[in-house]
Amino acid sequence: MKILLVIPAVGSIYGGPTKIVLELAQALGSNGVSVDIVTTNANGSTNLDVPLHTWVAEGLYRIQYFPHWGWGDYKISLSLASWLFRHIGDYDLAHTNALFSYPILLTHWACQFRRVPYIATPHGMLESWALSYKARKKHLYYSLFEKAALQKAESVQITGSPEALSIKSLGISTPIFFAPNGIDRQEFETLPDPEIFYREFPDTRYKTLILFLGRIDPKKGLDLLSAAFAQIHKQFPETHLILAGPDNTGYLSTARSYFAEVGCLEAVTFTGMLTGSLKLAALAAVNLYVAPSYSEGFSMSVLEGMASGLPCVITTGCNFPEAAQAQAAQVVKIDAHAIASALIHCLQNPEEAKAMGDRARQFIFENYTWDSIAANLIQVYQTIINSSSQAIKSAH
> pLDDT tens for residues 187-229?
999 999 999 999 999 999 999 999 999 999 999 999 999 999 9
Q: What are the domain boundaries of the chain?
A: 2-182+370-395, 186-367
Q: Do domains 2-182+370-395 and 186-367 have the same CATH topology?
A: yes
Instruction: Report the alpha-carbon distance of residue 338 to residue 349 in Å, rounded.
Output: 17
| Three-state secondary structure string covering the chain | CEEEEEEEECCHHHCHHHHHHHHHHHHHHHCCCEEEEEEECEECCEECCCCECCEEEECCEEEEEECCEEECCEEECHHHHHHHHHHHHHCCEEEEECCCCHHHHHHHHHHHHHCCCEEEECCCCCCHHHHHCCHHHHHHHHHHHHHHHHHCCCEEEECCCCHHHHHHHCCCCCCEEECCCCECHHHHHCCCCCHHHHHHCHHHCCCEEEEEECCCCHHHCHHHHHHHHHHHHHHCCCEEEEEECCCCCCCHHHHHHHHHHCCCHHHEEECCCCCHHHHHHHHHHCCEEEECCCCCCCCHHHHHHHHCCCCEEEEHHHCCHHHHHCCCCEEECCCHHHHHHHHHHHHHCHHHHHHHHHHHHHHHHHHCEHHHHHHHHHHHHHHHHHHHHHHHHHHC
pLDDT greater than 90 at residue 13: no
How does strand 2-9 pair with strand 93-97? Answer: parallel
Choose among 174, 215, 173: nearest CA to 384.
Answer: 174
**Which of 103 and 12 is assigned the larger pLDDT?**
103
pLDDT greater than 60 at residue 362: yes
Residues 28-85 have pLDDT tens digits of 999 999 999 999 999 988 899 999 999 999 999 999 999 999 765 678 999 999 999 9
The whole-number pLDDT of residue 396 equals: 47
Instruction: Report the alpha-carbon distance of residue 18 to residue 23 in Å, rounded.
Output: 9
Residues 84-99 have pLDDT tens digits of 999 999 999 999 999 9
Residues 123-182 have pLDDT tens digits of 999 998 889 888 888 999 999 999 999 999 999 999 988 899 999 999 999 999 999 999
The whole-number pLDDT of residue 212 equals: 98
Question: What CATH class is the domain 186-367?
Answer: alpha beta
Choose among 222, 229, 214, 232: nearest CA to 253.
Answer: 222
Q: Contact, 217 vs 211, CB < 8 A?
A: no
pLDDT greater than 70 at residue 348: yes
The whole-number pLDDT of residue 391 equals: 63
> Under 8 Å CB-to-CB from 1, ≥6 apart: which residues?
33, 34, 92, 93, 378, 381, 382, 385
Pick the CATH number of 2-182+370-395 from 1.10.1380.10, 3.40.47.10, 3.40.50.12780, 3.40.50.2000: 3.40.50.2000
Phi, psi of 381 (to 5 degrees): -55, -50
Q: Give whole-number Cα distances, 5 to 41, 174, 261, in Å.
A: 15, 20, 44
Residues 254-312 have pLDDT tens digits of 999 999 999 999 999 999 999 999 999 999 999 999 999 999 989 999 999 999 999 99
